[in-house]
Amino acid sequence: MAGLRMKALAVAAIAASLVASAAAALAPAPAPISDAAPAVPLAAASLAAAAFGYLFC
């Protein structure tokens, strides 16, 4: 049980760091034309967390 909790914490930490770094990279607000731009870092963080969970859990 403790191992599963540690893996979940690691996945959450990795996802949070990816989202934080992606948010820092998007400091200037995107133009209203590019509505899909915020979805790209979110998708990357989600895929990274899912891949980590699939490989190591």
Domain annotation covers residue 45? yes
| Total of domains in the chain | 1
Q: Compute how many other C-beta atoms are within 10 angstroms of the C-beta atom of residue 57.
A: 11
Domain annotation covers residue 32? no
Distances (CA, A) of 20 to 4, 27, 40, 44, 54: 24, 11, 13, 12, 22
Domain annotation covers residue 31? no
Stated pTM of the model: 0.38
Domain annotation covers residue 30? no
Residue 5 has which token pair? 């909790």
> pLDDT at position 22, please?
59
> pLDDT at position 23, please?
54
pLDDT digits (tens, 9 = 90+) for 3-43: 777 787 788 778 777 766 655 555 566 666 655 556 678 88
Distance in angstroms (rounded) separating the CA atoms of residues 4 and 18: 21
In terms of residue numbers, what domain contains 6?
Answer: 2-24+37-56
Domain annotation covers residue 29? no
> pLDDT at position 5, please?
79
